Chains A and B, each alone.
Chain A
Amino acid sequence: MSGPGVTAPARPVDLSVRLGDLELANPVMPASGCFGPELAELVPVHRLGAVVTKTVFAQARPGNRAHRLGESAHGMLNSVGIPSRGVHGFARTDLPAYQRLGAPVIVSVGGLSEGEYWRVTEELAGTEHAAIEVNVSCPNLERGGVTLGSDVGAVRRVVAGVVARTDVPVLVKLSPDLATIDAAARAAQEAGAAAVTVCNSFPGLAVAPETRRATLGNGTGGLSGPAIKPLALRLVWQAAQAVTIPVVGCGGIATAHDVAEFLVAGASAVQIGTATFARPFVMTEIVRELPALAARLGVTRLTDLVGTLSF
């Protein structure tokens, strides 16, 4: 007898995915900033498709002042401000700890100017890493602090410069702070990106009317968690229409079913962030659950779900 929910998967399900020249055993990886080698104290992170580092800058940065975290309905707001040891400290101290985790390491690269992204990439050239993810959601201090990723021309120049300075595949994590994601995604593709990650946290604000102050030390912050999932899904779907390179979906994913939603909308792989805080095992649990979910959805290769959305 056969039918939905009755049979066990007859054939093993293929979870592997390619992002350009980057081959992953499965599509699940952490979102930059929501992961560190510390998580290996709790869960077998070597089972992840890849790990993604916190964003690395050229110089050491202290991050923003407290408070850095807040919670809103179905989401969290953060203004951590990406503290970094700087690229030399990162290469000496942080990168070896990521390398010991046993999964491909994707290094997230940031910059407060276009040239800083290139300098960080050059400094990383001698180190061992599987890919670079360019975080274009940093404030561009040469343009009055406006998000670099909201400027399509800047995205194109930054990505082209990074691609020219590295041998590894380059992912570009796009900002949602855009009139339309299509142009930025296309700019990344034309500049040589292997994939685009869609998307980063959404700019947000929390206010305490009693004190007339913003609750975050930095004023504004980034909204993440289940609250942004429908927004991210739409952006993934739009970006996937706009480019031929793979899209990595990110935004509010907390279950294997969420992963399937992003794949159907056009993502080839996913990143998980906020969900890990409340359930540290969520990423490895999803990896374990994906074969059964794929079988239930009637595919033997997970990639067969990618971009199958119809209206």
Chain B
Amino acid sequence: MTLQPLERTDEDRPAPAWCHAEVLVNRPLTERYHHLRLAAPDVAAAARAGQFVMLTAGRDGSGPVLPRPMAVYTRDAAAGVVDVLYAVVGQGTRALAGFAPGERMVVVGPLGRGFAIHPETDRVLVVGRGIGTCSLTCVAQDLAPGPVELHAVTSGRDPGSVIGAEVFREHGAASVRAVHDTDGSSDVAVLRARLCGELDGGPPQQILTCGSERLARLCAELGERWGASVQVSVEAHMACGLGYCHGCSTGGPTGPEESPLVCRDGPVFWLSLP
């Protein structure tokens, strides 16, 4: 599969800022994921669907030296809050889980260039897996209350790893399929058959995906079948989030030019089969 940067204008990327955001909520949401709510009015007002923030988990000269990029799960401009979900998997996310409500965290954002919904699109399919679904939920926020019809697939290892279904439903998704490995409903062949059966008659013009290479491949195949364009949000280790450190290159050197950077040129890219 190949990644291509989207055609962008400066308007796609609101100016980022840093702040000492107050932690409002930081607690387990499901068996696997924690919910972090931050008071970050500028990010809440500006963040586009698919953009991310850098969260500094280190404090007082200890803890991780690098901030962690996290998708904006949902944002509420009126309340000035940003929601982030994360799985506690390593040193950085363990440190994040140690923040108590009332404490302040260094937050930089919004960063990157998010999903682009074209004006002529009237039906969108989003396909997320695990924590990757967090990149797609703001799309539902933006599309509500229509007229674009949203179909959502959220996949995970087990029921506790499936997130976002309630956000998609709350924002009027035409269909929400919560699937997981435990009952086999997330199997790619099963999913392909279901999606073809349900959407072949009225396919989406755009497919957006994040969180799984297998599902990204399925999306690319469905895109060819339906003549739909596919955008994928990818993740990478990052340091600066702005583009100057060049740490988050998408791949290997293919010529004298550097491959696109996830933070500067993405995290959302066009996805196509080779």
A residues contacting B by CB (< 8 A) are: 33-39, 41-43, 54, 59-71, 74-76, 78, 80, 83, 86, 217, 225-226, 254-255, 274-281
Contact = CB atoms under 8 A, between A and B. Distances in A.
B249 interface: yes
A60 B92 CA distance: 35
A66 B61 CA distance: 28
B5 interface: no
A34 B61 CA distance: 18
28 contacts: A33-B245, A36-B243, A36-B245, A38-B243, A39-B240, A39-B242, A39-B244, A41-B15, A42-B18, A59-B256, A62-B258, A64-B249, A65-B253, A68-B237, A68-B249, A69-B245, A71-B91, A74-B62, A76-B239, A83-B249, A217-B252, A277-B65, A277-B67, A277-B239, A277-B240, A278-B56, A279-B56, A280-B108
Interface string B221-248: 0000000000000001111101111111
In the A-B complex, the 7 residue pairs with the closest CB atoms: A36-B244, A62-B253, A65-B252, A38-B242, A83-B258, A60-B256, A69-B247
**Residue with the highest number of chain A CB atoms closer than 10 Å, among B18, B61, B65, B244:** B65
Contacts of A59: 256
* B interface, over-half SS: loop
B244 A38 contact: yes
A64 B245 contact: no
A151 to B, nearest CB: 27
Interface residues of B, number: 39
* A interface, over-half SS: loop
B66 A66 contact: no
B257 interface: yes
A74 B247 CA distance: 18
Contacts of A226: 61, 65
Given A69-B238, A83-B258, A278 B67 contact: yes
Interface of B: 15-18, 56, 58, 61-62, 64-67, 91-92, 106, 108, 236-240, 242-259
B159 to A, nearest CB: 28
A278 B65 contact: yes
B244 A62 contact: no
A41 B251 contact: no
Given A36-B243, A62-B255, A62-B258, 9 more contacts: A36-B242, A41-B15, A62-B256, A65-B252, A66-B249, A69-B66, A80-B246, A277-B65, A278-B66
Nearest to A216: B237
A278 B106 contact: yes
A79 to B, nearest CB: 9
A62 B240 contact: no
Contacts of A80: 245-247, 249
A41 B242 contact: yes
Contacts of B242: 36, 38-39, 41-42
A135 B243 CA distance: 21
Nearest to B58: A278
Contacts of A254: 61
A60 B67 CA distance: 29
**Residue with the highest number of chain B CB atoms closer than 10 Å, among A68, A277, A280:** A277
Nearest to A257: B61
Contacts of B91: 71
A255 B60 CA distance: 10
B246 A68 contact: yes
Nearest to B244: A36
A63 B246 contact: yes
A99 to B, nearest CB: 16
A226 B259 CA distance: 30
A280 B108 CA distance: 8
A218 to B, nearest CB: 11
A86 B16 CA distance: 29
